[in-house]
Amino acid sequence: MKAKATIRLKFSSARHLQTVKASLLPEVNKSVYGRARVALGNDGDFLILTIQADDTVALRSTLNAFLRWINSATNVVAVLDHSYQFGNHATLNVV
């Protein structure tokens, strides 16, 4: 591996962190990233994203993809929290 990045992102609660982490695991477990390897962990309320790549192009593209997915997941959590606070209990049925 020639390029590596470790990103630590702080979450407002352990529940939010675990929700986002669980949403990313299917992507982490895919073996599609031939030029990059991804690991997820946590330390308290911090999500730890580690990417090792063959080159900086693979590092950048993988990092951008995961940061977009993290942003999307945190936005969904925020909307659901807001909805729950105002009595609009949303339910999600997965088929």
Note the pLDDT tens digit of each residue in 45-85: 999 999 999 999 999 999 999 999 999 999 998 888 766 66
92 in a structural domain = no
Summarised one tens digit per residue, pLDDT across range 7-25 is 999 999 998 999 999 999 9
pLDDT at position 83 is: 65
Report the number of distinct structural domains present in the chain.
Answer: 1
Does residue 95 form part of some domain?
Answer: no
Residue 21 domain-assigned (yes or no): yes
Q: What is the pTM (predicted TM-score) of this model?
A: 0.81
Measure the CA–CA gap between 25 and 1, rounded to whole angstroms.
22
Residue 20 covered by a domain: yes
Q: Which domain holds residue 34?
A: 3-85
List, in order, residues 6 or more apart from 89 with CB less than 8 Å away: 83
Q: What is the pLDDT of residue 78?
A: 86
Given this model, what pLDDT does residue 95 score? 45
